[in-house]
Amino acid sequence: MRQAVLILVGILLFFLLHIALSSPVLPEHVATHFGADGQPNGWMSKTRYPFFIFLMGMGMAVFVLTIFFSIRFIPPAMINLPHKDYWLNDLRRAQTMRFIFQHGLWLAIIELLLVLSIHHTTVIVNRLKNPYLPPALAWGMLLIFLGAILAWGFVFIRAFFHVPEN
């Protein structure tokens, strides 16, 4: 778990540094939303955008971590896991909850990397004379994110299907 915490903190610090260093180069009106054709159709002021993107990244990460931490307070009867009786018995419940929270940390990392990539892309496209987000780039970012979520979900669920033999 320590490794995931260190990576999350490192990405968060990089995210903050990137926002701080890149915000001054943004135009007064930042294109923040783009249509399917890549043309901007939503704008935000240069002073509001850094706060918005920071709150979006932090808000999503805190939300994910709160959900995964709170699972430990849910009665076992309300938790749906393969081999639930094994994983939630008194001997393994604490270890199972640590595992679940650790995977919540990895999900928060994936989410924060998505918001970081959105910010970085926003900075790049807003440096153009006429901001434009190539649809292939937007789809590529989305597919990478979805692939990461699928891999995360596979690893998470797979861990509960195998019951070690004693």
| Model pLDDT, residue 166 | 64
| Model pLDDT, residue 1 | 73
| Within-domain flag for 121 | yes
Give me the phi and psi of 61, to 5 degrees please.
-65, -45
| Within-domain flag for 115 | yes
| Model pLDDT, residue 101 | 96
Q: What is the pLDDT of residues 130-165, one digit of tens each?
A: 999 999 999 999 999 999 999 999 999 999 988 877
Question: Kind of pairing, strands 40-45 and 29-34?
Answer: antiparallel
Query: How far is Cα 150 from Cα 152, in angstroms, rounded to an integer?
Result: 5
| Within-domain flag for 166 | no
| Within-domain flag for 91 | yes
DSSP 88: T
Residues spanned by the domain of 153 = 2-161
**Considering the entire predicted model, what is its pTM?**
0.90
Q: How many domains does the chain have?
A: 1
Q: What is the pLDDT of residues 48-70, one digit of tens each?
A: 999 999 999 999 999 999 999 99
| Within-domain flag for 45 | yes
Query: How far is Cα 8 from Cα 6, in angstroms, rounded to an integer?
Result: 5
Query: How far is Cα 93 from Cα 84, in angstroms, rounded to an integer?
Result: 10
Question: Can you tell me the mean pLDDT for 78-84?
Answer: 91
| Within-domain flag for 122 | yes
| Within-domain flag for 37 | yes
Q: What is the pLDDT of residues 22-35, one digit of tens each?
A: 999 999 999 999 99
| Within-domain flag for 124 | yes
Question: Can you tell me the mean pLDDT for 104-110?
Answer: 97
